Structure 1
């Protein structure tokens, strides 16, 4: 799987690449892509802590020859159907962004299926649970029992693609019950060692999310695929 990174200096530059009439994304690059090849477009928005990724399929490649310059390829790519909700989110967010300075969004939650355990903050009695989604600011888990909203609990889990154990403090902000009888809890991270702890946690999570997006599975475990990176920016194309 190959990854092409597009660096934006202004959020609204996304519309320079997206063609609303056809639903295609068009960009130029020195890289050579084949027709029908699937790749990942990684958009680097200003003022965002995360990249946004879209899986696309190459529809057309038009070589652009200019005297005295290297040949560039104009790539026309179609966003895959299961990525439409993500594309709609990007279009809505960018359209409602008045300026790069005010462009912000809440942390995206990534669907996962990861075994974990929770305990009251100052206890050592662990209850098995499953993390259903995970973001830089918190997570949702499913468990057979749950503390009331407002309770601070410890969550212990392993990021499989990094083989790294995570233990983080969180506050229960909501809970609900599934038809199966399982309890759902929404947690907001509150690392016990303050801002540095949150930054370290988010650094590990960003790496996991990159693998989660690229390899397209709930665990983030790498597949046996070679990943190649190419970059396009509005200040210069590679």
Structure 2
């Protein structure tokens, strides 16, 4: 469920109404140039109109409609998934490709359990589906980043760099040239280490996503038909928290 203030703020007519009230108040003040008392009254009426707007939305049922609207779930393009799978298959490390397969399998399992436990028209069903999709999409984005980061350091030959550093340590013929080369080689290793730390962080985030999807699926599977899924709600709360964190990482 969306909070009332967020539903109100994201409703386009809210901003149109605020602009109209503001412009009308400013126009009256500029045209009439009223005394202080009347100015306060006009401003008070404007503020009152703005405050009354959510109440108007409530009485017409629009606020409830916006708060309980079923979120739309966008499916991932199969071609995009195939392209990502091909990128990951080219990596020396098999873990990213394995994560992709696990993500698809666990998302499929969650949807299958949802369909057995909840009606697809229920808000709870949509909430679970939309949140799990957000986590799934964020994990896919992480794998895209892993592929890019891995490609960026694929041409750095660590053995060559280490060998050259060892040779430079024993070469005293041209200290100045040796220092310059050593600096560039060390920078190359530093770039590699930075990207490796980034990859490790992204992979750890994805492992947390996989665990959260498993927890939600098993909690739903344990819910008796027709009963309130308290344990599943707790699992979904953790999944939502993970989705929020994924959004923060993206920023």
Normalising by the smaller structure, the TM-score range is under 0.3
User: Greater share of strand residues, 1 or 2?
Assistant: 1
Q: Which has the larger radius of gyration?
A: 2
Q: Tell me the TM-score normalised to structure 1 length.
A: 0.22
